[in-house]
Amino acid sequence: MSHILEIWGIATITGISCSLIGTFLVLRRLSMMVDAITHTVFLGIVLAFLVTKDLNSPWLIIGATAMGVGTVYAVEWMQQRRYIRPDAAIGIVFPFLFALAIVLVTLFGKHIHLDVDTAILGDLAFATFQRFTVDAYDLGPMLLWIAMLVCLINAVCIALFKKELILTTFDPVCAKVYQAMPMAVSYGLMTLTSLTTVSSFQTVGAILVTGCMIGPPATAFMLARSVKAMLFISMVVSTIATTIGVTLAFLWDVSIGGMIATVIGCIYGLVWIYKYGRNNG
Amino acid sequence: MMSDSKCILKVDHLSVAYDDTVVLKDVSFQIEKGTMTAIVGPNGAGKSTLIKAVLGLVPLVEGTIDLTLDTKTVSAYGGAKSNSIYNHIAYVPQTSTVDWDYPITVFEVVLMGTYRRLGWFRRPGKRERDEATKALQTVGMLDYAERSISQLSGGQQQRVFLARALVEDQEVYLLDEPFKGIDKTTESVLVKIMKEMQSAGKTLLIVHHNLQTLEVYFDQVLCVNRRLVGMGPVRDIVGSHILDETYSY
């Protein structure tokens, strides 16, 4: 039972982390950038692993986060160049870097356990195996602590820079006039996105991070009248989806991450029908 | 012409280019304190670019901008980056530049006008909220304070943007097509507020399209078409060859 509870805890905290960051990504219309980042961080992990030869090295997280921010830089740089279509920039950068990671893994990583499938789909079922112990006391799964740390970082950053985040997402031109450094805020947000993505890797996996980051905030966008409400509603939606998702996954013995993302999609659909019906019915 | 003592904004040999394309070439003019100036010209003439250059949103290739305040003069130079001038100019962008489905209330948008003064980390307090309330009252939108911005009409959006600029309480106001897509009633309300700002000693530069209303609203006209075609009091410009020349190519 506690095994299920621990998995539920990891998934819930991860979901809340994703909702916090995702709210501002949805507001900035950067949903598809998350998809790109979730894939390219994999190259950061692979490169850091090839240098350190250690799957548990903190450099993996640093390398992955740096690669995520690098992706945003590369895409935005390309979007401002001639002869490059803005939407094609994402479509070029992300498969290129992700493919590079796969080539590197298959070339040099044959003998190690760096499973491409696990990285893409995640595996919550095994998330509780690695424990966080202090003096032989078991303080719970390592991933739960990582998830809580990342969630805390996200919450603190958003609390400190809420004013700037709202200004730069609502009116980037005025943010520039106000000298609020919209570029710095933007890259700060992207750094947190990368960090959250990397930490969610082992729990929900790269593809489903997109679902967790965009689904609940996009649902909240239809209901909220303020950013504060949007943050709150997306955290609630995420927690509901996680609870239903984890329960169903154990009942039916299916992929936990997959089930959570499916529930998120269903909730989004239901809220859209409700909203559409109310405004057009 | 104008006495230098009353000149608040002086633009000297300003040139602006996007990539390799020169958008504005060698523009020089002076604006007196407490005046309301229309910036006119055909589409693509560089009116918005001129405003953006004065705001520091686009880099100056060449030229100088001097802003003379009561206590000091601040300058921006071509090629150099100086923030001090931009801190004294308020901007009312075209309403189409933001997403009106954004989950935010009218009051919160107006409150943004205090953010520049507050800087990083500080949150708006009672004083800032009072200022926002007062500005909303001035533009006649106090009843809408807690409404979501998605419920506003075009004219109401423009009033909210003007209220946000009022909260900033700057000396110089640059407005980009504030009368675009709004009805006659709202337009006259906005003009009344602008005239009040002018009486309070504020200087306004407004990108304007309707040549019929030039004489009613403005003191002077700045005719732009990639260069400064002409500038002067409204009665000298209206009906003169300068307007024809501005719109002729």
* pLDDT, tens only, A7-28: 899 899 999 999 999 999 999 8
* Of residues B17 and A217, more confidently modeled: A217
Distance separating alpha carbons of residues A49 and A57, to the nearest angstrom: 8
Token duo for residue B148: 């979501």
Average pLDDT, integer, range B113-133: 86
Does A177 contact B55 at a Cβ distance shorter than 8 Å? Answer: yes
- CA dihedral for A52, A53, A57, A60, sign (positive or negative): positive
Helix (H) or strand (E) holding B20, with range, is none
Mean pLDDT of chain A: 85
C-alpha angle A163/A227/A204, rounded to 5°? 105
* pTM for this model (two decimals): 0.85
Which positions ≥6 away from A229 have C-beta within 8 Å?
Answer: A220, A223, B103
Q: A184 at the B interface (CB within 8 A)?
A: no
Q: B102 at the A interface (CB within 8 A)?
A: yes
Out of A161, A177, A224, name the one closest to residue B103 (CB): A224
Q: Where are the domains of chain B?
A: 4-247
Chain A, residues 143-162, CB within 8 A of chain B, namely 160-161
Average pLDDT, integer, range B109-124: 86
Out of A167, A179, A230, name the one closest to residue B103 (CB): A230
Collect all residues of chain B within an 8 Å Cβ-Cβ radius of residue A178. 115-116
Out of A170, A177, A227, name the one closest to residue B86 (CB): A177
**The pLDDT of residue A26:** 92
Collect all residues of chain B within an 8 Å Cβ-Cβ radius of residue A179. 83, 86-87, 116
Tens of pLDDT, residue by residue over B198-214, are: 998 889 999 988 888 87
Neighbours of B83 (CB within 10 A): 10
Residue type, A45: I
Measured in degrees and rounded to the nearest 5, phi and psi for residue A71 equal -60, -45
Collect all residues of chain A within an 8 Å Cβ-Cβ radius of residue B19. 82
Query: CA of B92: how far to CAs of A223, B68, B165, in Å?
Result: 29, 21, 6
Q: Where are the domains of chain A?
A: 2-206
Average pLDDT, integer, range B26-42: 88
Q: B109 at the A interface (CB within 8 A)?
A: yes
Does B108 contact A166 at a Cβ distance shorter than 8 Å? Answer: yes
Q: B87 at the A interface (CB within 8 A)?
A: yes
Taking the alpha carbons at both ends of chain A, their separation in whole angstroms is 45
Residue numbers in chain A where pLDDT is lower than 70: 1, 109-127, 129, 202, 206-207, 281
Collect all residues of chain B within an 8 Å Cβ-Cβ radius of residue A167. 112, 115
**The pLDDT of residue A61:** 80
Interface test with A, best of B18, B104, B122 (most A CBs within 10 A): B104
Rounded to the nearest 10°, the torsion over CA A61, A66, A71, A74 is: -170
Q: Which of B97, B59, B172, B94 is nearest to A172 (CA)?
A: B97
Percent of chain B with pLDDT over 70: 95
Token duo for residue A124: 């919550």
Distance separating alpha carbons of residues B181 and B187, to the nearest angstrom: 10
Rounded to the nearest 10°, the torsion over CA B115, B117, B121, B123 is: -60
Q: What is the DSSP string of A82-128?
A: TT--HHHHHHHHHHHHHHHHHHHHHHH-TTS---HHHHHH--GGGTT
Does B148 contact A167 at a Cβ distance shorter than 8 Å? Answer: no
**The pLDDT of residue B80:** 61
Token duo for residue B228: 């400064």
Does the pLDDT value for residue B2 go beyond 50?
A: no
Instruction: Say if CB A65 and CB A198 are below 8 A apart.
Output: yes
Collect all residues of chain B within an 8 Å Cβ-Cβ radius of residue A177. 55-57, 86, 89, 91, 116
Does the pLDDT value for residue B229 go beyond 90?
A: no
Interface test with A, best of B96, B100, B115, B164 (most A CBs within 10 A): B115
Neighbours of A192 (CB within 10 A): 23
**Topology of domain A2-206, per CATH?**
ABC transporter involved in vitamin B12 uptake, BtuC (1.10.3470)
The CA R_g of chain B, rounded to the nearest whole Å, is 18
Counting one residue from chain A and one from chain B, the pairs whose CB atoms sit within 8 A come to 61
**The pLDDT of residue A215:** 95
Q: B118 at the A interface (CB within 8 A)?
A: yes
**The pLDDT of residue B217:** 84
**Alpha helix positions (H), B70-144:** 106-111, 115-118, 126-138
Q: A224 at the B interface (CB within 8 A)?
A: yes
**The pLDDT of residue B116:** 83
Does B112 contact A174 at a Cβ distance shorter than 8 Å? Answer: yes
Range B4-247 classified under CATH 3.40.50.1100: no
ipTM value, please give it: 0.84
Does the pLDDT value for residue B46 go beyond 50?
A: yes
Average pLDDT, integer, range B128-146: 90
Q: What is the DSSP string of B136-155?
A: HHHTT-GGGTTSBGGG--HH
